[in-house]
Amino acid sequence: MTYPTADLTVTEVAVPASLDDADAADFIAAVALNNAVCLADSGVDDYERTAAEMLPLWKDRTDHVHRTFIARAGDSIIGAISLNCGVAEPTSAEVDLMVLPEHWPTGVGQALLDRAEEEVRLQGRRVLQAWTLHPAVPGSETLTPKTGWGVISSSPHTRLLERNGFALEQVERSSGFDLQADLSTVERMLSGAIAAAGPDYRLVEWNLPTPPEQRDGYAWALSRMSTDAPSGDLEIDEETWDAARIARRDARIIGGGQTMSVAAVEHVPTGTLAAFNELVIGEDPTGVTHQYCTLVLKEHRGHRLGQLVKCANILRWRGIAPASPRISTFNAEENRPMLDINEAMGFVPRAYAGAWQKRLD
Q: Which of 4-13, 82-91, 209-218, 254-263 has the lowest mean pLDDT?
A: 4-13
More confident residue, 28 or 2: 28
Compute how many other C-beta atoms are within 10 angstroms of the C-beta atom of residue 182.
9
Share of the chain above pLDDT 70, in %: 98
Phi, psi of 336 (to 5 degrees): -65, -35
* pLDDT confidence band for 6 (50 / 70 / 90): low
For residue 292, pLDDT over 90 is answered with: yes
Question: What span, in angstroms and rounded, lies between the C-alpha atoms of 47 and 58?
Answer: 18
Question: What span, in angstroms and rounded, lies between the C-alpha atoms of 295 and 310?
Answer: 10
pTM here is 0.94
* pLDDT confidence band for 361 (50 / 70 / 90): confident
Tell me the CA distances in angstroms from 351 to 34, 41, 99, 239, 338, one per residue in order: 16, 9, 18, 28, 17
Residue 213 contacts by C-beta under 8 Å, 6 or more apart in sequence? none
Mean pLDDT within 135-157: 96
In the 3-class helix/strand/coil scheme, how is the chain assigned residue by residue? CCCCHHHEEEEECCCCCCCCCHHHHHHHHHHHHHHHHHHHHHCCCCCCCCHHHHHHHHHCCCCEEEEEEEEEECCEEEEEEEEEEECCCCCEEEEEEECCHHHHHHCHHHHHHHHHHHHHHHCCCCEEEEEEEEECCCCCCEECCCCCCCCEECCHHHHHHHHCCCEEEEEEEEEEEECCCCCHHHHHHHHHHHHHHCCCEEEEEEECCCCHHHHHHHHHHHHCHHHHCCCCCCCCCCCCCCHHHHHHHHHHHHHCCCEEEEEEEEECCCCEEEEEEEEEECCCCCCCEEEEEEEECHHHCCCCHHHHHHHHHHHHHHHHCCCCCEEEEEEECCCHHHHHHHHHHCCEEEEEEEEEEEECC
Question: What span, in angstroms and rounded, lies between the C-alpha atoms of 349 and 176?
Answer: 6
Segment 341-355, tens digit of pLDDT: 999 999 999 999 999
User: Do 134 and 151 meet the contact criterion of CB atoms below 8 Å apart?
Assistant: no
Mean pLDDT within 248-259: 97
Segment 23-60, tens digit of pLDDT: 999 999 999 999 999 999 999 999 999 999 999 999 99
**Nearest residue to 135 via CA among 87, 110, 108, 101:** 101
pLDDT at 7: 83
Mean pLDDT of the chain: 95
For residue 163, pLDDT over 90 is answered with: yes
Mean pLDDT within 80-98: 95
